[in-house]
Amino acid sequence: MELRTQRLLLRPWRDDDREPFAELNADPEVMRYFQAPLTRAQSDALAERAGSTIAERGWGLWAVEAVDVAPFIGFIGLAEPRFEAHFTPAVEIGWRLARAHWGRGYATEGAHATAAFAFDELGLDEIVSFTTVTNEPSRRVMERLGMTHDEADDFEHPNLAPGDPLRTHVLYRLRRG
Ligand SMILES: CC(C)(COP(=O)(O)OP(=O)(O)OC[C@H]1O[C@@H](n2cnc3c(N)ncnc32)[C@H](O)[C@@H]1OP(=O)(O)O)[C@@H](O)C(=O)NCCC(=O)NCCS
């Protein structure tokens, strides 16, 4: 399954995505709101997992191509959080783009198509998104999508240690329109 937008193709992963994916995962600015940049092995494992999930069930975190601009700029798509929290089980919408492709509206454009797929094709009633409180660029994507934030939903990420400055997360929700 692929999704097309005006400027993007959200598509299955290819082997030649691994190199540019490892580059963006090694960029400290891209990974500023995560615990650490990823090693090549960690990056490849993430690409492998995203690719095989899409191959198995047809949807997931898609590799993103900016048509006529770059064959791979990052990922946008859907995932099921593997940790337990007050809002799980849930389907999460997420994005991670290489720095050279920020500031052009690509994340929001791909996310709109992803949300439409979640509601119209998968028939979900709700999708969520979450990030550490200080990740304003990601929160702005959520807000542009029309997602709403209720402080009562904020949570401590169970995979981060108490005292970790990234631990407190905001949760945004979007219900089928
Ligand atoms: C989160 C992330 C994808 C957001 O990228 P982004 O470029 O800010 O978001 P978009 O692609 O939606 O682009 C929107 C920006 O482009 C601008 N823009 C320029 N041309 C545009 C166009 N044609 N259409 C829409 N917006 C456009 C908007 O004004 C907006 O800028 P602003 O937020 O400064 O107002 C990016 O910061 C990232 O990859 N971060 C690292 C990974 C990460 O933290 N992921 C989230 C973890 S939960």
CA of 109 to the centre of ligand 1 (A): 10
What is the Cα–Cα distance from 70 to 172, expressed in whole angstroms?
30
What is the Cα–Cα distance from 45 to 52, expressed in whole angstroms?
11
Nearest ligand 1 atom to the CA of 98 is 39
pTM exceeding 0.85: yes
Find the helix packing angle between 18-25 and 40-57, rounded to 10°.
130
Angle at 169 between CA 163 and CA 173, to 5 degrees: 165
E strand or H helix that includes residue 93: strand 92-97
**Cβ proximity of 147 and 72 under 8 Å:** no
- Please name the amino acid found at residue 134: T
Whether ligand 1 lies within 6 angstroms of the CB of 72 is answered as: no
Angle at 144 between CA 85 and CA 174, to 5 degrees: 40
3 state DSSP class of 88: coil
From first to last of the 177 residues of the chain, give the pLDDT tens digit.
899 999 999 999 999 999 999 999 999 999 999 999 999 999 999 999 999 999 999 999 999 999 999 999 999 999 999 999 999 999 999 999 999 999 999 999 999 999 999 999 999 999 999 999 999 999 999 999 999 999 999 999 999 999 999 999 999 999 998
Whether ligand 1 lies within 6 angstroms of the CB of 33 is answered as: yes
- Please name the amino acid found at residue 46: L
Task: Give CA torsion, residues 39, 40, 45, 47, to 10 deg.
Answer: 120
CA of 101 to the centre of ligand 1 (A): 8
Residue with CA closest to ligand 1 atom 17: 103
Whether ligand 1 lies within 6 angstroms of the CB of 103 is answered as: yes
Whether ligand 1 lies within 6 angstroms of the CB of 170 is answered as: no
